[in-house]
Amino acid sequence: MTPSLFRAAYGVCLFLVIIAAKWATFDRFGSPMPDWDQWDAEASALLVPWLEGDPAFLGHLFAAHNEHRVVLTKLQALALTAANGQWDARLEGVVNALLHGLVAWGLWGLAARRWAGWPLACFWGVLAVCFGLPLGWQNVLGGFHSQQYWLLGLSVATVALLPFARAGSGRWWAGATAAALALFSMGSGLLAAAAAGMLVAVRWARREAPARDAVATLAVIAVVVGAGFLLRVEVPWHQEMKVPTAADFLASIAHSLQWPWREQDWAAVALWLPWALVALGRLRPPTPGKTAGPRDNHALLVAGLGGWVLLQVAATAYARGAGGGYPASRYMDTLALGVVANALALLHLHAGARPHLVRGLGLLWLGLLAAGLPPLVRDTFGSDLRDASTYYRKAEGYLRRYLATGDVDHLIPPDIPYPSVEGLVDRLTIPGLRALLPVPLRTPLALLPRDPEEGVFRVNDARGWITPDAPRRGLAPGTPALDYGVTWGSHGAEGPAARGTWRSGVLPAPGLRWLRFETAGHPGAPGVALELRAAEDDRVLGLVVPSREPGESWRAAYVRAPAVPYRVVARDDAERHWLAFSGPVEMGGLSHAAWQATKHAGTLLATALAASLALALAALVRRRRPAG
């Protein structure tokens, strides 16, 4: 394998490690339930106007959400919902991970074209840790937080392309487009163009860029930055978050720059030293007669990436720095890019005149970074993610019971996914929006028996029951009653010995691609089956069997939705087995794919890490093999 193929394979492994780590985090702690801002920015301001054919739809699309015009986030949510037929935060989270993985892949490409060997391997590790660990867990779990990844990706593209390309070239237009699109990622999107403008000014002042190219690029940047200022929005309910004093402003900046450390101001200086050395070295007066080359451009790129992070830190300190506290987790992906910029600076310095000295500095820097991460990782997994998971489970339960009963008493603040009960109820009264809800919240399809006589399968309706004495007709003594849907079960007074068959009335072909049943007992055991049969000729269209036997608990089972009208048929012909099931819930095809991706993310992560290790060993053997 050639070195270029090795680097490409490492890039693929890096991408897979990052997305698998994020998907695994979502699988363990996240929820498909739309949360907080999504009910406004995605539901009220996007999906409802789209569903109702509102002629002012474009106005809703470009309208500000708080201080931001999150047009790209809205478009992403709309595209996924339209393609899926369902509004699903897990699907959004899966796609968000792909966006972040692509940003890391691009940064890897910037480095892999210039360096090789163990310094590049260390950079791979920095990227994998900074982008793979869920330190920015709010962005990992929040489908709405794609704005953070759009901001990162478009800003990196702007800084990497626009200042170094010939005006009018393909790379130049790509950089200009990225700068313009960044305005519609977040309110601070204009800072990408501002950082690129600084680099262009440096190159022009040092006569490294033709005046024609520099003037054209600066003109585009001026237009983008000016448009960014015109698009700015101030909202009164966030004024108290703005920094009130210079002390708070500086404290907020210091707390961001010392990331991942806390309460160690000196760490900010140490962690940003590599970038400072490169940036200051690049700004020294040029040597007479020397022409700028690729190495000089790379130094300027490093300065631009780190400079953009510093601009973001300052903007966040101004807008959210009241009290001078530590940054929220949603800002940590930006701070992680600052770490990556310093790692790139070390690569640049290592290729210079004093590699041995830089090697020592690099080892100290890596040690400092590694020493600061464990407390942050411990807090993330030990409390932040666990608390988020607890909140999601409670909120899902409250919302399911409300949707099943219509009783607002089931919505108990603060564990609901919106600031107010009234606001949430108002949104859920919109039929079209309610029909888009994802699987954990979606109301099961109503099953009615073809024969009014129940037979061996008895109906149980415990919707809204939250007490231990909920009815359990048709269920084993240890099986909890579902509190959001009607179930049918064959466990009776004589235990599992009863036998019989149950058939539903005819159901129309579902609008979505999958059906999800809750099952208990022994579905799939000899003599026990839950089937979908064609209403016209009774042929079997699908078997409903969970991946593991549920016994006295409930376990979800997925089956492809029929394309024709169908019946649900339950059979229990076994003396020692029994079966219980709920009405089916419709699930979009992309939602099912996202669920599969997160479910198997741990296997993908282990495979990608093993492949990375194998590549590293192969590269080591290749380097030690004698030439010829």
Give the pLDDT band of residue 618 (cuts 50, 70, 90): confident
pLDDT value of residue 628: 47
User: For residues 468 and 59, what is the distance between their CA atoms, to the nearest angstrom?
Assistant: 50
In DSSP terms, 569 is beta-bridged to 503, 531
3-state helix, strand, coil in the chain (%, to 5): 60, 10, 30
User: For residues 258 and 255, what is the distance between their CA atoms, to the nearest angstrom?
Assistant: 5
Q: Which residue has the higher pLDDT, 294 or 336?
A: 336
pLDDT value of residue 450: 86
Q: Of all helices (H) and strands (E), which one includes residue 79?
A: helix 71-84
Give the pLDDT band of residue 2 (cuts 50, 70, 90): confident
pLDDT value of residue 200: 96
Q: What mean pLDDT do residues 150-177 have?
A: 96
Q: State residue 541 phi and psi, 5-degree precision.
A: -100, -25
Q: Which residue has the higher pLDDT, 453 or 526?
A: 526
> Which of 43-47, 115-119, 187-191, 524-528 comes out lowest in average pLDDT?
115-119
User: For residues 530 and 583, what is the distance between their CA atoms, to the nearest angstrom?
Assistant: 12
pLDDT value of residue 287: 66
Contacts of 617 (CB under 8 A, 6+ apart): none
8 A C-beta contact, residue 425 and residue 411? yes
Tokens of 193: 């163009």
8 A C-beta contact, residue 85 and residue 101? no
8 A C-beta contact, residue 167 and residue 173? no
Residue with the two structure tokens 């789209």: 50
pLDDT value of residue 385: 97
Q: What is the pLDDT of residues 36-90, one digit of tens each?
A: 999 999 999 999 999 999 899 999 999 999 889 999 999 999 999 999 999 999 9
Give the pLDDT band of residue 305 (cuts 50, 70, 90): very high
Dihedral, 273, 275, 279, 281 alpha carbons, nearest 10 = 60
| Percent above pLDDT 90 for the chain | 79
pLDDT value of residue 445: 93
Three-state DSSP class for residue 552? strand
pLDDT value of residue 221: 97
Neighbour-count burial for 91-115, b at 16+ CB within 10 Å, e otherwise: bbbbbbbebbbbbbbebbebbbeeb
Neighbour-count burial for 474-512, b at 16+ CB within 10 Å, e otherwise: bbbeebebbbbbbbbbbbbeeebbbeeebbbeebeebeb
The CA-atom distances, in angstroms, between 321 and each of 61, 204, 352 are 29, 35, 39
Q: What is the pLDDT of residues 230-267, one digit of tens each?
A: 999 888 888 888 888 999 999 999 999 999 999 898 99
Q: What angle do CA 268, 273, 275 make, to 5 degrees?
A: 110
pLDDT value of residue 306: 97
pLDDT value of residue 291: 63
Contacts of 328 (CB under 8 A, 6+ apart): 138, 320
User: For residues 234 and 257, what is the distance between their CA atoms, to the nearest angstrom?
Assistant: 26
pLDDT value of residue 6: 83
Instruction: Say yes or no to pLDDT of 474 above 80.
Output: yes
Domains and CATH numbers, the chain: 245-284+296-393 (no CATH), 394-434 (no CATH), 458-583 (2.60.120)
User: For residues 628 and 620, what is the distance between their CA atoms, to the nearest angstrom?
Assistant: 17
Q: What mean pLDDT do residues 589-617 have?
A: 95
8 A C-beta contact, residue 532 and residue 581? no
Question: Mean pLDDT over all residues of the chain?
Answer: 92
Q: At what angle do helices 355-379 and 273-282 cross, to 10 degrees?
A: 140
Q: Of all helices (H) and strands (E), which one includes residue 307?
A: helix 294-320
Instruction: Say yes or no to pLDDT of 150 above 90.
Output: yes
Own/partner contacts of 477-482, CB < 8 Å, gap of 24 or more, are 477/552, 478/552, 479/520, 479/521, 479/552, 479/553, 479/554, 479/580, 480/553, 480/554, 482/518, 482/554, 482/582
- On the 0-12 / 13-18 / 19+ scale of CB atoms within 10 A, 12 is middle
Q: What mean pLDDT do residues 362-376 have?
A: 95
Give the pLDDT band of residue 374 (cuts 50, 70, 90): very high
Give the pLDDT band of residue 288 (cuts 50, 70, 90): low
Q: What is the pLDDT of residues 175-208, one digit of tens each?
A: 999 999 999 999 999 999 999 999 999 999 988 8
Q: What mean pLDDT do residues 323-335 have?
A: 92
Own/partner contacts of 618-627, CB < 8 Å, gap of 24 or more, are 618/1, 618/6, 619/6, 622/1
Q: What mean pLDDT do residues 276-280 have?
A: 94
Q: What mean pLDDT do residues 300-316 have?
A: 96
Give the pLDDT band of residue 289 (cuts 50, 70, 90): low
Give the pLDDT band of residue 564 (cuts 50, 70, 90): very high
Give the pLDDT band of residue 466 (cuts 50, 70, 90): confident
Which stretches within 380-472 are classed as H helix? Answer: 385-405, 421-428, 431-434
